[in-house]
Amino acid sequence: MTAEKFDPAGLGTWTEETRFEVTRERLAEYAAATNDPIPAHLAGDLASPVFAIVPVFQSLMEPALEVVPLDLIGKIVHGEQDFTFHRPIRPGDKLVAKGKMTGWEGLSNGTAACVYLETRTEAGELVNEQHVTFFVRGFDTGDSQGELAPGHKFDPAEHGAEPVAEVKQHVDDDQTFRYGPAAGDPMPIHLDDEFAKAMGLPGIIAHGLCTMAFTSWALLTEVGGSDVTRLKRLAVRFAKPVLPGQDLTTRIYRVGDNGFAYETAVDDVLVVKDGLAEFTTEGA
């Protein structure tokens, strides 16, 4: 057994602030890299929802380094993503991001650990908040510390109802090579087939956040009036990797007045679980 332990002293420790200037070209590139059909996104007038990960990308892993032992970093996978949107990102925004780890929970098959990220303008306006749940495979801390991300579990009882929409999408063969530069994510499991296989994967896999971006525009076009200003929360659990060339089917179910639960599958295998989208009645 390993003697390694998570370090509770690292909880609540903010990273250094990182800065990101938003350009219309970068917003349009991200939309194109995720096959987003919404005109305002393709034109770079407004950011598509999952673009919010781009300004915080440098702050994403740093909090884990304050808590998780270095020899366990390679066992980390992205388990869940939960965005809270206060307003959309727009071209010309000068954004400031920082993050901190808030807590962990040891489980029999690994440990779930939550990183909280916030993005503000230089003037201090809160743009979005994110809860990122990392999962450290095969390492149980044996305890719980701090706070995890808020819940968004899809009640199985909802499956008895017919979906209000079903969207089919195709992941292009070159999707990861377009998404990586647009998102600023150079991870080799998405770009190098031999490396991905050496990591125990069947080959190159799609970025989880690219798959989430696909689901975001499916929701916006089907139940959100293609208006990103109405979207206030978007959360998912990543269940299985998606491969280039595969087809996605997203089924959307109404939950309450302005909420929707959803799941995304490749054939009969769920790749996104516990999806949740919350909208306002009118945009900002």
Instruction: Report all structural domains of the chain as residue ranges with CATH numbers, in order of start.
Output: 8-279 (3.10.129.10)
Residues 55, 130: contact at Cβ < 8 Å?
A: no
CA distance 274 to 81: 11
Q: Do the beta carbons of residue 270 and residue 234 sit within 8 Å? A: no
pLDDT number for residue 1: 40
Strand 269-279, strand 231-238: pairing? antiparallel
At 283 the pLDDT is: 55
pLDDT at 260: 96
Tokens found for residue 195: 């490396």
In sequence order, the 6+-apart residues with CB closer than 8 A to the CB of 256 are none
- Token representation of residue 275: 């999806």
pLDDT value for 3? 55
Q: What is the pLDDT of residue 282?
A: 65
pLDDT tens, the chain, 284 aa long: 445 789 999 999 999 999 999 999 999 999 999 999 999 999 999 999 999 999 998 888 889 888 988 888 878 888 999 999 999 999 999 999 999 999 999 999 999 999 999 999 999 999 999 999 999 888 999 999 999 999 999 877 766 789 999 999 999 999 999 999 999 988 888 989 998 888 788 999 999 999 999 999 999 999 999 999 999 999 999 999 999 999 999 999 999 888 999 999 999 999 999 999 999 986 55
Residue 9 confidence (pLDDT): 92
State if pTM tops 0.85.
Answer: yes
Could you give the C-alpha distances from 123 to 21, 137, 214, in angstroms and in order?
A: 13, 39, 31
Structure-token match 């919350």, residue found: 278
Burial class (CB within 10 angstroms; exposed 0-12, middle 13-18, buried 19+) of 228: buried
